[in-house]
Amino acid sequence: MDRQPAEHSPPTAAERALALARIDPSPDHRQPKTGRLVLASIAAIVGSLVADALLVVIGEAIFPSTKGYVHFQFSDYGKLTIIGVVIACIAWPIVTRVSSAPRWLFFRMAILVTLVLWLPDLYILHQGQPGDAVAVLMVMHLAIAVVTYNLLVRLAPVRAPRRRGRGATGTSARSSASD
């Protein structure tokens, strides 16, 4: 009996999950330039701290009872903001390395992380912290995500694949539209 090899086995659950998340260990694009990544990281840290400070001022103006709220002190939110933004800045080049659609994946990661970071806010609200102050903290988390995401993906974007000239096969690079 001559057995024919199976055409294709169905993808495993792990393969389906990786495809859904657009994880591809060999994406076509190139990594962001290091200098641009450093610039984007500095801009994200500074931009997030400025956004936080502005939101504290606005929050205290709208909700005067929050003036002097402990979590509105720069020393309190500043170090946590810097830690979170640095983690995002480390994550961006990793995502660009493992995903064929890094902006798509990083955007969804930013949403997920923001939702997770709201859990401590909801916890302190449940513990009796003022609702208006907690609402400002939640908006601060959202602002950090928006600022950081946009600065990283726009100032340190993935680069187009290298053009291939005549290689070992003797063919020249063609646009994908002609394929």
69 pLDDT more than 60: yes
Contact 149, 110 (CB under 8 A): yes
d(CA 129, CA 178): 61
1 pLDDT more than 60: no
d(CA 71, CA 73): 5
Distance between alpha carbon 49 and the CA centroid of its chain, in Å? 17
Ranked by mean pLDDT, the top range of 1-10, 100-109, 114-123 is 114-123
In percent, the amount of the chain with pLDDT more than 70 equals: 87
**pLDDT at residue 3 in the model:** 56
13 residue type, one letter: A
Please tell me the pTM assigned to this model: 0.80
**pLDDT at residue 21 in the model:** 75
d(CA 83, CA 53): 16
Q: Whole-angstrom distance between the N-terminal and C-terminal Cα of the chain?
A: 40
142 residue type, one letter: L
Given pLDDT bands bounded at 50, 70 and 90, which one contains residue 41?
very high
**pLDDT at residue 6 in the model:** 55
**pLDDT at residue 169 in the model:** 47
At 164, list the tokens.
């291939």
Q: Taking residues 107-115, what's their average pLDDT? A: 97
H helical segments located in the chain: 13-20, 34-62, 74-98, 102-126, 131-155
179 pLDDT more than 90: no
